[in-house]
Structure 1
Amino acid sequence: MKVIVAGLPKTGTKTMNCALHFLGYNRLYDYPENSYFLHKQWMKIFKEGPTVDLLRQMYDDVDAIFDTPACFYWEELAEAFPEAKIILMDRDEDQWYPSFVKQINAVNSSLVLRLIQNFTLMGISRLNYRWHCFALCGGRSCWPFDQVTLLNENSIRRMFRQHNLYVKERAPKNRLLVYKPSDGWDPLCKFLNVDVPEVPFPHKNKGAEMFEEYRKTNESVKAFERHLVMCMFFYAALVAFLVYKIFTWF
């Protein structure tokens, strides 16, 4: 592990993901990768707490980690990987909260995502994982529709402030960069000791459209979709078989 992005969702984490990719960090674990590859390990962490050995086993060959649930465990990850840099994505609270609500609404309105979550074996097997992640962010959901509901605006805003303040106070100053995407390449590249790339600084997920882009580019999301297609074929075949049996019975 080289970089721990401690910023909460909708603080610019997808932009940072893209920026680090430009800088040569190739093995990046965001929410989809954690859900696809490591949900069982995270369930163990949710139930028993993290250990240095487990975190090292999970992320030893990963370059950087982002988003929920990892951002809430940045301190334990920093202990497990003492050489890793810590980046806190900083954003104005009054801009962050409506953007966060918009992201939740985008998740709730995605038909493909709803089908994956509720009608595939992969999706159903990760129900408890998603519930824990939503709870960390101040939300809740329940099967069969897995609709996310944010509990209380004041408590979510308080969580945002407390999280950011805690990172700023507790992270070693020589390992921490408090960063906004508007800062551009220079402070980021200086912090990571890499050359500034000859490309414009990226800006991702501005309109909470990241899932649609992930459907085209993210291998974990593509794997979930392939599983959905297989399940839909299975359900169609099962329905056809049952209809056939009903008609032949009479």
Structure 2
Amino acid sequence: MFPLQDNWPEPSQADFAITDAGPASILLHEMISSKTAGGREIDRLDQPPARQKPMQVLCLGLSRTGTTSMVHALERLGYRSYHFNETVEMQRKGKMHLLCWREALEAKLYGRGAAFGLAELEKLLHEYTAVTDAPCANFVDELIAAYPDAKVVLTTRDDEPWLRSMEASYYDILGVSAWPFVRWLDPPGLGALYDVLRLILVDWTGGPWRDRAALRDGARRHNEHIRALVPKERLLEFRVQQGWEPLCKFLGKDVPDEPFPRKNEGKHTLTKLRVGMALKTLKVVVLVAVSLLRMAALPALLVGATALFLSSRR
């Protein structure tokens, strides 16, 4: 339907020159405001309050290495963990985390704007005591520098099963044919989601994000970098199949009397995304239709009002 393009044009104010200030024009203005306004999105977030609890666990394994299971495990052990799902949830609450992570990735990869450090990271993570999954896993050096006392968990997985899982999640999602239209329709929401997912892969592959061999090699480099960077006493290499024992020993926690969580949301993500795209498209179509109907009715209302006024003057 719509061929994928990395350089799909971003909308400008002229693209949405609607004279009626109805709901459609308001919505369309909001959709492009983040692209046309100056300054960084991260700087628009409120300054965070002082931390109540320190950052304690940096789970820096790549996506699809058991990161969703780790979220549930860490929560069971008393941590509050920031996962990719949190970026979407915060976006829904108007905090625009997807836009902020896009800024962070573009600064890291292309030098666009200032790099993210402790001040920026705290705006996103100050409520959390642990992080898992991308995009946090794309900022190993920055997170370790910002939170030097946190313990580091490196979740790993064999190459071939991991690549198949990435194929069924990231690549299937980015391969949805309607992306160019939806990115144009909703730049700060679904458009930013596409950008962040693609930039995550650009980072891990070193550029050619569609190249699966480059992704495999990038994952190996990622893991080796963490092994070289983090002192052994602060690092746990972990596979979710190992269960509670090594994780709890490393974190100094009692072993829960229940099975280790085994969660896999990847198979549901594509379906949820397609539903979200359809609902977003339907919402905009309805609002545009309402505004167009209002604009079409305006001349008739003016004629009627004029006739009524003239008849009252007789």
Normalised by the size of structure 2, how large is the TM-score?
Answer: 0.61
Who wins on radius of gyration, i.e. which is larger?
A: 2
Q: Please say if 1:88 is aligned against 2:154.
A: yes
Unaligned runs of 5+ in 1: 141-148, 216-220
Q: AA paired with 2:133?
A: D
Q: CA deviation at 1:62?
A: 1.0
Which residue of structure 2 aligns with residue 183 of structure 1? 242
Which residue of structure 2 aligns with residue 14 of structure 1? 68
Is the 1:8–1:160 Cα contact (8 Å) retained in structure 2?
A: yes
C-alpha separation in 2, matches of 1:124 and 1:236 = 20
Q: CA deviation at 1:169?
A: 1.7
C-alpha separation in 1, matches of 2:192 and 2:215 = 27
Q: CA deviation at 1:185?
A: 0.3
Q: CA deviation at 1:205?
A: 1.2
Change (3 A) 1:88 1:102: same
Is the 2:57–2:151 Cα contact (8 Å) retained in structure 1?
A: yes
Q: CA deviation at 1:34?
A: 2.9
C-alpha separation in 2, matches of 1:107 and 1:12 = 19
Change (3 A) 1:111 1:15: farther
Unaligned runs of 5+ in 2: 1-54, 108-113, 300-314
Match of 1:41 among 97, 100, 107: 100
Is the 2:59–2:152 Cα contact (8 Å) retained in structure 1?
A: yes
Q: CA deviation at 1:68?
A: 1.6
Q: How does 1:1-250 map to 2 (within 5 A)?
A: 1-26=55-80, 28-35=81-88, 36=91, 37=95, 38-46=97-105, 47=107, 48-108=114-174, 119-120=185-186, 121-125=188-192, 128-138=195-205, 150-205=209-264, 208-211=266-269, 229=279, 232-239=282-289, 242=292
Is the 1:106–1:209 Cα contact (8 Å) retained in structure 2?
A: no
Normalised by the size of structure 1, how large is the TM-score?
Answer: 0.75
* Superposed CA RMSD: 3.7
Change (3 A) 1:68 1:124: same
Is the 1:119–1:231 Cα contact (8 Å) retained in structure 2?
A: yes
Aligned length: 231
- Aligned with 2:152: secondary structure? strand
Q: CA deviation at 1:73?
A: 1.1
C-alpha separation in 2, matches of 1:115 and 1:25 = 39
- Aligned with 2:139: secondary structure? helix
1:97-139 CA-partner distances (Å, limit 9, x unpaired) = 1121121244247799999766445223555444422322449
Which residue of structure 2 aligns with residue 143 of structure 1? none
- Aligned with 1:58: secondary structure? helix
Moved more, 44-53 or 77-86: 44-53
Is the 1:86–1:177 Cα contact (8 Å) retained in structure 2?
A: yes
Q: CA deviation at 1:194?
A: 1.0
